[in-house]
Amino acid sequence: MHPRQPRSRSALKPDKKQTRRTDKPAPAAYHSVSKTAEKRRKKPHFQSGRKKSTPLPLEEQKIIVFNKPYDTLSQFTDGQGRQTLADFIKVKDVYAAGRLDRDSEGLMVLTNDGILQAKLTQPTSKAAKTYWVQVDGAPSEADLDKLRQGVKLKDGVTLPATIERLDDPSEQLWPRTPPVRYRANIPTTWLSITIVEGKNRQVRRMTAHIGFPTLRLIRVSMGPYHLNTLLPGQWQYVDKPK
């Protein structure tokens, strides 16, 4: 079932700039330059391993948006036989821009462009990431204000977050397997949470900190990229926003 937009938000609104590429991407990996050439540059680019990436020609860029299913690792290999990105994406030389927990769902961006990868993941970039989050219970506005202002976690105080309530989108979303536990005497609440940092399991720890554990978490946007109507396991090429 395709997710329709809840009345209060537009996180899954299609982006006209994100159109499927009809041409087959060229098989290119990260481009690197010599150390001598790098020294001439005033500002260093994103470093991947021992080599630094330079801007890729548009015709060589690969950018993929993927709807990661629940219980899938956000990596291409696993020694324990668990489901990974390789079970869905057969494209070579693309790497995930950031991670998504195994028990989380939704948008991942994969690319062979090291500079784009850095813009989406480096803390200094402050790329916005929006999640639809189902929490256990009914937080008050005072509870949500704590998240808006920042809460103290073990690894530091979170930056202010944008928090909004959502109309329940459960009937518009794909079913999760296994389903979220249901308890008739305890309500659940859906929130749209936007953060500009990426601490480990940050959103889950934020909601737990104010007493409302996360039951389901779906990333719907990351920087200029959106999940749109992709179903779990589906992916497509997109163009780099201008």
**pLDDT tens figures, 114-128:** 999 999 999 999 999
Q: What is the pLDDT of residue 21?
A: 44
pLDDT at 34: 43
Q: pLDDT (tens digit, 9 = 90+) per residue, 43-76?
A: 444 444 435 567 788 778 999 999 999 999 999 9
Q: Mean pLDDT, to the nearest integer, of 218-222?
A: 98
pTM: 0.78
CA distance linking residue 167 with residue 189, whole number of Å: 9
Amino acid 92: pLDDT: 94
What average pLDDT does the chain have? Answer: 84
User: And the tokens for 233?
Assistant: 């396991």
Higher pLDDT, 191 or 22: 191
Cβ-contact 61, 21 below 8 angstroms: no
Kindly indicate the confidence band of residue 33, based on its pLDDT and cuts at 50, 70 and 90: very low
Q: Which residue has the tokens 């402050």?
A: 126
Q: Is 103 a catalytic residue?
A: no
Separation CA 84–CA 73 (nearest Å): 5
Residue in 127, 14, 85 with CA at minimum distance from that of residue 232 = 85
Domains, in order of start, for the chain: 61-124+223-242 (3.30.70.580), 128-222 (3.30.70.1560)
| Cα 214-218-181 angle, rounded to 5 deg | 45
Q: How far is CA 173 from CA 170, 201, 218, in A?
A: 5, 22, 10
Q: What are phi and psi of 118, to 5 degrees?
A: -65, -40
Active-site residue (options: 87, 101, 103, 239): 101
Q: Which residues contact 207 (CB under 8 A, 6 or more apart)?
A: 133, 135, 147, 191, 213, 214
